[in-house]
């Protein structure tokens, strides 16, 4: 079954405690991306990757890091989380940049992060 | 101004009603357009693409007006199961990013 798997699904943490949200896909997709979703603001792109070892900033990259060492994994790292990073995070994949023209992103189930 | 703007709603309609949502986009170079559906506490999923000629999928019809820079989604004969948030999505001209609107909430009531 085609899947995008995120972990953890729910996390409450404290300011400054480093955390990583993992994303793994089994569809051999080249394109992977992280979004955060906040009320009234919609989905905003944090980082994206067009292939292994290729990553680029999205619209709201501050406070986040990513890496793409393998095709299937695209972890999101919060080195020093702050309360304004409390949000719902989604990982998404697509077959390749060209397939974005079809509009079909495959999303993980989301990770709800609360930073106290 | 947001790149993609939608009326947040909520739109509260009875079963069987016809309801329409609009979405406006600011980047005239945008090249492709889509509607996504997001159920409460779930991930977004592609509902349909929006073509210049318009397209229909069962009870759903999507239209694009490039001159006025808006897209629309029409739902006929609303079902309870149509209750969700509908996200308008635009692919920028360089093709490597989908920009999402904040969504329109639809509640269909019996």
Backbone angles phi, psi at B52, to 5 degrees: -60, -35
- Over its length of 116 residues, how does chain A's per-residue pLDDT go in tens digits? 889 999 999 999 999 999 999 999 999 999 999 999 999 888 999 999 999 999 999 999 999 999 999 999 999 999 999 999 999 999 999 986 666 777 789 999 999 999 99
> What count of Cα atoms within 13 Å lies in the side-chain half-sphere of residue A56?
10
pLDDT digits (tens, 9 = 90+) for B13-61: 999 999 999 999 998 888 889 999 999 989 999 999 998 888 999 999 9
Given CB atoms, is B96 within the 8 Å cutoff of chain A? Answer: yes
Does A2 or B5 have the greater pLDDT score? B5
**What is the rounded CA–CA span in Å between residue B67 and residue A96?**
30
Task: Show the tokens assigned to B86.
Answer: 């509908």
Residues in chain B: 110
Mark yes or no for CB contact B46/A48 under 8 Å.
Answer: no
Of B43, B46, B95, the CB nearest to A90: B43
Give the span between the Cα atoms of A29 and A21, in whole angstroms. Answer: 19
pLDDT of residue B10: 96
């Amino acid at each position: 079954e085609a899947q995008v798997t995120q972990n953890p699904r729910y996390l409450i943490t404290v300011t400054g405690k480093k955390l990583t949200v993992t994303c793994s896909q089994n569809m051999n997709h080249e394109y992977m991306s992280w979004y955060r979703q906040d009320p009234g603001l919609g989905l905003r792109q944090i980082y994206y990757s067009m292939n292994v070892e290729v990553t680029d900033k999205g619209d709201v990259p501050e406070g986040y890091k990513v890496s793409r060492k393998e095709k299937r994994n695209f972890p999101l790292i919060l080195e020093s989380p702050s309360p304004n990073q409390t949000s719902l995070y989604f990982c998404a994949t697509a077959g390749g940049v060209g397939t974005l023209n079809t509009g079909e992103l495959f999303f993980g189930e989301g990770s709800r992060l609360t930073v106290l | 101004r947001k790149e993609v703007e939608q009326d947040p709603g909520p739109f509260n309609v009875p079963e069987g009603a016809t309801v329409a949502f609009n979405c406006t986009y600011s980047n005239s170079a945008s090249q492709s357009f889509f509607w996504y559906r997001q159920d409460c506490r779930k991930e977004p999923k592609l509902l349909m693409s929006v073509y210049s000629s318009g397209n229909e999928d069962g009870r759903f019809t999507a239209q694009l007006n490039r001159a006025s820079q808006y897209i629309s989604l029409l739902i006929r004969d609303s079902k309870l199961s149509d209750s969700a948030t509908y996200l308008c999505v635009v692919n920028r001209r360089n093709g490597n990013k989908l920009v999402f609107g904040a969504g329109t909430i639809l509640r269909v009531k019996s």
